Chain A
Amino acid sequence: MVLDSLSDSLKGIIRKISGSSYIDKDTIKEVSKEIQRALLKADVNVKLVLRLTKTLEDRAMNEKPPAGMTDQDYIIKIIYDELLKILGQNVNFELRPQTIMLVGLYGNGKTTTAGKLARFFIKKGFSTALIAADVHRPGAYEQLYQIAKEVNAQFYGEKDEKNALKIVKNGLNATDAKIKIIDTSGRDSLDEDLIKEVREIKESVKPDNVLFVLDATMGQQAGPQAKTLNDAVSISGVIITKMDGTGKGGGALSAVAEINSPVYFIGTGEHMDDIEIFNPKKFLSRLLGMGDIDALMEAV
């Protein structure tokens, strides 16, 4: 039975409405309220949650479940569909020579992810260079240098240079690697100087991909922060880190809803191999606390 794999709280609601063959308006409201709570617990942005459950209510009132599907299952399917719409289908990251710039908030995992991506591309046979453009955090140069050594990537950095743009330009010139990955400092929406710095890098070197690295424990700020960064540098994709923890990633989902970019990878640990291709369905089952959600969705 499909419902066996749902989270306890959702199971609870479903149980409540099971038995009644017909789901009325009040019941839909009640279920919607519980789904709201499940989404809020997963760090989905408050306004987005309200929007989603409004859609849920409208659709549940007006649509008939397909033959063979109960009303209860259909309600779950609606919310799942709406969330999947935000995430989109699997988009594979293009395996071609390119320049990638990583941006994101303080300590979310940019430098580590730079190393993971380098290993990923090197395994696929691409020569790869890491460029150290974090001129602010003490030890950032050494961190990336050591990571580059570990994954056998080329490394470019200028230890005492404080002009990040200059380093990036020199670094891009200095290497003939097929894949060039630029690591930048952590920054947030209120730090105008740092936003300006990254915008200048982006405008000057025009990387093929600007990837937003954000961690799965992030709460309500994920959306707004993504928006500011997107306005500054046009984010082309997202990487969600620290998925080995218990953070549900609703913040990341909200960021995606805000900037409309695909998620390409997830980080699942501190080691250089701890990176996986993003799978929206897997991500959603985890977010909603459901086990095997595919069984339900494929039933249609």
Chain B
Amino acid sequence: KEGNQRVIKRSEIDNQIMEILLESDVSLDSADLITEKLKERMGKLKRRVDFYSVEDELKNVIKEIISENQNRFDILNPGKKPYIILFLGINGTGKTTTIAKLAYYLKNNGKKVVISASDTFRAGAIEQISILGKNIGVEVIKHDFKSDPASVAFDAIEHARARSLDYVLIDSAGRMQTNKNLLDEMKKIKRVSKPDLTLLVLDAMIGQDVIEQANTFAREINFDGIILTKLDTDAKGGAVISVSTEIKKPILFVGTGQNMDDIMPFDPDWYINKIFSS
């Protein structure tokens, strides 16, 4: 973006906007839709326009789309005890780390939390969440490697009830949305734990596959909202826009690093700034 006044041809707007969106990993369909909306908004324009006014309008369009799906849900006052949150996602997106961060966040806000180590499958998963729990001073309920993840969750919920804790956070093994057995296992975890909130954890580096993943999980398991991790990287996290446009679920938190305080409630303005920073 050179200079203060960047005048472009009207006919170039489409291409330029598409490029910005696609390079941010916004899905192709969402990018089409946003470009259409933007053109509608800009109405009849002169043959040459100032690119910055187009960009400003684009920011408005994106903000609207994102905000439509954001609800005012206050995680610190969920109105039920224990409040049970289940985490879901494909392999390696950041579920376990996010759970520890969220537990830490809740704890720092005076809440009592227990974590269910329901990834009993991946090597080192129980150790990982146990170490994290110890570091943040939150108890982790665990069974043996390869044991039934649903019964770990059941025990964690019992534990929370008996001690009148505020939250139960249930970890789960990473699962591809193409793996029927693992989807069935997730259904069982959900049936047994009856979560108040199910969150899909997505990696900000994800590309066009986000829609396929989110749709399949929505259909097979259903979820209420999204956490996008790894936004401390160069990734723009266009998934936020894609899921807002096509899946219509809110983004609750974002992960911004590997440390325990690298989590924050999702803020559309912060996010839009990130996309447009070069």
Contacts and interface: CB of A to CB of B under 8 A. Distances in A.
Interface of A: 37, 40-43, 46, 105-109, 112, 115, 136-147, 150, 188-190, 215-222, 224-225, 242, 244-248, 250-251, 270
Given A115-B123, A217-B206, 17 more contacts: A43-B208, A139-B128, A139-B129, A139-B132, A143-B124, A190-B232, A219-B205, A219-B238, A220-B25, A221-B205, A245-B177, A245-B209, A246-B177, A246-B212, A248-B208, A248-B209, A250-B207
A220 B125 contact: no
Interface string B177-211: 11100000000000000000000000101111100
Contacts of A41: 28, 208
Interface string B247-276: 000000000001000000000000000000
A139 B124 contact: yes
Q: Is the interface of B mostly helix, strand, loop or mixed?
A: loop
A224 B28 CA distance: 20
Contacts, number: 141
Listed from nearest, the 9 A-B pairs whose CB atoms lie closest are: A219-B207, A143-B124, A139-B128, A107-B92, A43-B207, A142-B127, A219-B25, A146-B123, A138-B131
Interface string B101-130: 000000000000000000001111101111
Nearest to A250: B207
A143 B123 contact: yes
Contacts of A140: 124, 128
A218 B206 contact: yes
A116 to B, nearest CB: 12
B19 interface: yes
Interface of B: 19, 22-25, 28, 90-94, 121-125, 127-132, 135, 145, 174, 176-179, 203, 205-209, 212-213, 230, 232-236, 238, 258
Contacts of B90: 217, 242, 245
A227 to B, nearest CB: 11
Contacts of B92: 106-109, 215, 242
A248 B206 CA distance: 11
Contacts of A224: 234
B207 A138 contact: no
Contacts of A217: 90, 203, 206-207, 209, 213
A40 B25 CA distance: 10
B229 to A, nearest CB: 8
Contacts of B24: 220
Given A140-B124, A218-B205, A107 B232 contact: no
A139 B178 contact: no
Contacts of B28: 37, 40-41
